[in-house]
Amino acid sequence: MLENALTIDDLKALARRRVPKMFFDYADSGAWTESTYRANESDFARILLRQRVLVDMTERSLATEMVGQSVAMPVALAPTGLTGMQHADGEILAAQAAEAAGVPFALSTMSICSIEAVKAATKKPFWFQLYVMRDRTFIERLIDRAKAAGCAGLVLTLDLQILGQRHKDLRNGLSAPPKFTPKHIWQMATRPLWCLQMLGTRNRSFGNIVGHASNVGDLSSLSSWTKEQFDPRLSWKDVAWIKERWGGKLILKGILDVEDARMAAASGADAIIVSNHGGRQLDGARSSISALPGIVDAVGDRIEVHMDGGVRSGQDVLKAVALGAKGVWIGRPFLYGLGAGGRAGVARAIEIIRNELDVSMALCGKRDIRTIDTGIIDEAPWPVPATRGPRAAV
């Protein structure tokens, strides 16, 4: 059935049928009224592309670099929590699919499979995403574990000091593994293949936390620990400390404001990700794609700018690149693929994005992704920087 999936929406429909509702909703939801979650997608659709004809469309290339790393296309698999609850061993399968496709994969702190488990199942370095907790000793150990695993970059998430209110998760009573309430048992019973796959793996908890954080030896103590640990005092001083401790490529995720972007550029980080956490934090914030042009114009000559949020097609990737993004991160598209068909489903999601990006670039009269700029934009609902050549690599 995966071969019949022509769009990310097709994979989403498959995932909805195969993943228990509480975990599908976790991937497919935003905060509060979900207005920002919806705007992330709809604002892409309002950007129009310029169609060009009678140009040479042969020998096209999507290859480029993200944070100094060669990539097959300017796309990375974003760090997502509970990935291993969309499909058994989800983080491992997604990392393997990304590796085969030549695009980066970032493992979340809140992953089900641990850093070490993903390292053991892959051949090339992946990236690691860090949430900063009050327990700094645990964070130091977590950074050291990522270094020991040879992770190629650290993605520091800045916009989760306080958890946004996500109504679907609250109503579903989300947990990992799921609680054995009648509602949850019914959800799992109606997804027998998912249950069978979960029975075949040991990875059912938060592998980076349980057994590593102080006083968290099992799931009974994890819930209270996580509620207390996200640090609302996180500041730019912490960014400097983490940068020094890590010593490698550092990417700051969660920038949506020009002033914050300027602070990030001054921090010495290697890249920023323009992001509103997929619409899962501040509902009513602007979409990532609408924030991108202003941030690129303000700091794009000082720091590499990426974006995430609302990307559902290769055309969305093309539009983001045209507006200045050096890298585009996809979360829900690969999660839908994972839920629909494991590693093969993630590979299919990446293939769909790649094919749409390639064809759309050609129909805009371009052959090399590195030459894409605002010149391919016909119309946008907000001001964009004047047409100019593509920015040099930072």
The catalytic site residues sit at 277
Q: Give the C-alpha separation, 50 to 34, whole Å.
A: 31
- 348: Cβ–Cβ under 8 A, 6 or more apart, which residues? 2, 3, 5, 11, 337, 340, 341
Please name the amino acid found at residue 334: F
Going by their DSSP bridges, the two strands 377-379 and 304-308 should be labelled as: unpaired
Residue 222 in tokens: 């994890």
- Whole-angstrom CA distances from 94 to 12, 126, 315, 323, 350 are 16, 11, 22, 28, 10
Instruction: Cite the DSSP H helix spans in the chain.
Output: 8-18, 21-27, 35-45, 90-101, 115-121, 136-148, 167-172, 182-189, 192-199, 219-229, 236-246, 258-266, 288-299, 314-322, 332-363
- The Cα 40–Cα 63 span in angstroms is 26
d(CA 6, CA 180): 36
Q: CA 13, CA 7: separation in Å to the nearest integer? A: 10
